[in-house]
Amino acid sequence: QSALTQPASVSGSPGQSITISCTGASSDVGSYNLVSWYQQHPGKAPKLMIYEVTKRPSGVSSRLSGSKSAHTASLTISGLQAEDEADYYCCSYAPSNTWVFGGGTKVTVL
Amino acid sequence: EVQLVESGGDLVQPGRSLRLSCVASGFAFEDYAMHWVRQVPGKGLEWVSGISWNSGSIGYADSVKGRITLSRDNARNSLSLQMNSLRTEDTALYYCAKDLRYSWNLAAFEIWGQGTMVTVSS
C-alpha cells in the first residue's frame, strides 16, 4: 500500500490560513470517511487533531478543520499561530485491512 | 489521566526476536482497540498492527505480516508486540496508541505513548 501524498512543507504568517492536502487513491481516501490528521512537535508523540475527515477531538482548537473531495483530504488551519508550527500527518484506512499515513508536512509560521 | 507507557525496546541483531509491551492507565482499556505505530527517527509514521477490544480481530501491515504477533491482556491493561526475525528496516521508535473505538479498523489513534526505541543492527 503506497503512502498518501502530502506537500513536504507549507508556511504562512501569523493570522493567515493554510491548507495541507493529502492525496490518496479511490481505494483508500476515496472509499472511506476514515481520514485522520496528527500534529507532531519535535521530540514529542503525535497528537490526534481530526478524525473521520471532519471531527475534532475534545480540546482541539476550532481553528483546525478537515474536509475531503474525491480522493484528496485537506486540513485547514486558520488564524495561524506560533504553536501551530509542527509536522502534520494524514492517515486513511486502506484496502487489505491496513492504515496508511502520508509522508508528513512541515508547517512553518513565518 | 490517560497514559500509555511502552517498554521493551533494545538493540538487537538481525534475525533475533524482541517483545514490546505497553501498559495503559486512566481509561477502560478493555473497551478500546489498540495499535502500534512506528517511526524511523526523522521520518514519517507507519502503522504496524492493531487489535480489537476483545482480541477478536487483529490487523498487520504487509511489511511485518508473518513476523510479528499482537496480543492484549485486558485483565492487566497491557498490550504486547512479539517481533521475530527482525530486520534492519524494523529500526524505529515504536508507539503504542489507543483507538477511539472498540475495533481497530473503525476510527483513529486517539492517545499515544512516548514510544520505545528498537534498533536492529549487527
Contacts of B113 in chain A (CB under 8 A): 45
For residues A38, A40, A45, A50, the Cα torsion angle rounded to the nearest 10 degrees is -20
Check CB contact under 8 Å for B47 and A36: no
pLDDT the model gives residue A95:
81
pLDDT the model gives residue B41:
95
Mean predicted lDDT score pLDDT of chain A: 95
Residue A2: pLDDT over 80 = no
A60 close contact with B: CB closer than 8 A:
no
B61 close contact with A: CB closer than 8 A:
yes
Per-residue DSSP letter, B30: G
pLDDT the model gives residue A63:
97
Q: pLDDT tens for residues A71-84?
A: 999 999 999 999 99
pLDDT the model gives residue B105:
86
Residue A13: pLDDT over 90 = yes
- Residue among A93, A74, A1, A38 at smallest CA distance from B106: A93
- Residue among B26, B27, B16, B51 at smallest CA distance from B37: B51
Contacts of B114 in chain A (CB under 8 A): 45
Residue A1: pLDDT over 80 = no
Say if CB B53 and CB B32 are below 8 A apart: yes
What is the residue-level pLDDT of chain B in tens, covering all 122 positions?
Answer: 999 999 999 999 999 999 999 999 999 999 999 999 999 999 999 999 999 999 999 999 999 999 999 999 999 999 999 999 999 999 999 999 999 999 888 889 999 999 999 999 99
- Residue among A57, A23, A92, A72 at smallest CA distance from B105: A92
Residue A95, CA distances (Å) to A18, A37, A50, B7, B39 in order: 30, 19, 21, 31, 22
B18 to chain A, closest Cα gap in Å? 22
